[in-house]
């Protein structure tokens, strides 16, 4: 079995923060028995504990050459048809697969890890629309290949003023027709 190129795991501090929020929920609930206004704090602590423990339970995301593995679920890169980012922190990316199923990838890492995961997902999803833009256009490859196919001529910068250019053109036409530029007549030559 090949080793992953990169592995993105949820930091362990989410688990400990969730346990701390549960402890504060219990403490706040105990105070709420004496002061009923503490039920508000109990509810807020409970909601934050549930959210943080949900983020702590997210599976690791592994990037391979041929697929992305989210927990135990492996998705080949060629099956990803659309990749849309919803949020930055925590990173939320919605993957739409070839069979029209959608997978929400939630990664609550630090900003550097989140941007690295997003870049890896975007770079390997070659057949996908990335935030609604085709892969080649998103990475600027379409513009480069169009320029490579089409020969561009170098820019032409004017060296003379328009009046001077007209004078040079008149002299050139006279040289072509007469064969010399001096304005001597045939009687002066004799």
Maximum Cα–Cα distance across the chain: 131
List, in sequence order, every beta strand (DSSP E) within 52-101: 61-63, 67-70, 73-76, 80-87, 91-97
Residues 104 and 138 in one domain: yes
8: buried, middle or exposed (CB in 10 Å: 19+, 13-18, 0-12)? buried
Residue 27 lies in a domain: yes
What does the block give as tokens for 1? 């079995």
Q: Provide the residue range defining the domain that includes 67.
A: 63-145
Asked whether residue 158 is assigned to any structural domain, the reply reads no
Same domain, 68 and 137: yes
Residue pLDDT tens, the chain, 190 long: 678 888 999 888 999 999 999 999 999 999 999 999 889 999 999 999 999 999 999 999 999 998 999 988 999 999 999 998 887 778 899 999 989 999 999 999 888 888 899 999 999 988 888 888 888 888 887 555 555 555 666 667 778 888 888 998 988 888 888 877 676 655 555 4
pTM (two decimals): 0.65
Domain count, the chain: 2
> Same structural domain for residues 46 and 120?
no
Q: Does 72 reside within a domain?
A: yes
Residue 134: predicted pLDDT = 86
Q: Is 65 exposed, middle or buried (0-12, 13-18, 19+ CB in 10 A)?
A: exposed
Would you tell me the crossing angle of helices 13-32 and 38-56 to the nearest 10 degrees? 160
Closest CA to 45 of 30, 56, 57: 30
Count the Cβ atoms, other than its own, within 10 Å of residue 45.
Answer: 21
Residues in the chain: 190
Give yes or no: residues 48 and 101 share one domain: no
Give the angle subtended at the CA of 102 by the CAs of 98 and 106, to the nearest 5°: 130
The torsion of the CA quartet 63, 67, 68, 74, rounded to 10 degrees, works out to -140
Q: Residues near 25 by Cβ (< 8 Å), separated by ≥ 6?
A: 42, 45, 46, 49
Note the pLDDT of residue 189: 52
Residues 141 and 68 in one domain: yes
Separation CA 187–CA 179 (nearest Å): 17
- Looking at the fold, whether 73 and 136 belong to one and the same domain comes out as yes
* Rounded distance between C-alpha atoms, residue 138 and residue 168, angstroms: 49
* Residue at 111 is within a domain: yes
């Amino acid at each position: 079995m090949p080793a992953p190129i990169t592995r993105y795991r949820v930091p362990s501090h989410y688990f400990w923060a969730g346990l701390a929020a549960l402890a504060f929920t219990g403490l706040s609930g105990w105070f709420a028995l004496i002061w009923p206004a503490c039920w508000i704090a109990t509810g807020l602590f409970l909601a934050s504990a549930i959210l943080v423990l949900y983020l702590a339970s997210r599976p690791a995301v592994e990037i391979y050459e041929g697929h992305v593995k989210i927990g135990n679920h492996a998705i080949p890169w060629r099956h990803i048809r659309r990749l849309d980012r919803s949020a930055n922190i925590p990173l939320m990316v919605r993957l739409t697969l070839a069979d029209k199923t959608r997978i929400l990838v939630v990664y609550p890492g630090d900003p550097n890890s989140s941007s690295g995961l997003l870049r890896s997902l975007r770079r390997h999803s070659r057949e996908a629309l990335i935030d609604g833009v085709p892969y080649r256009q998103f990475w600027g490859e379409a513009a480069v290949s169009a320029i490579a196919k089409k020969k561009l001529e170098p820019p032409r910068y004017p060296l003379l003023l328009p009046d001077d250019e007209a004078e040079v053109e008149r002299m050139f036409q006279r040289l072509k027709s007469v064969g010399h530029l001096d304005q001597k007549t045939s009687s002066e030559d004799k």
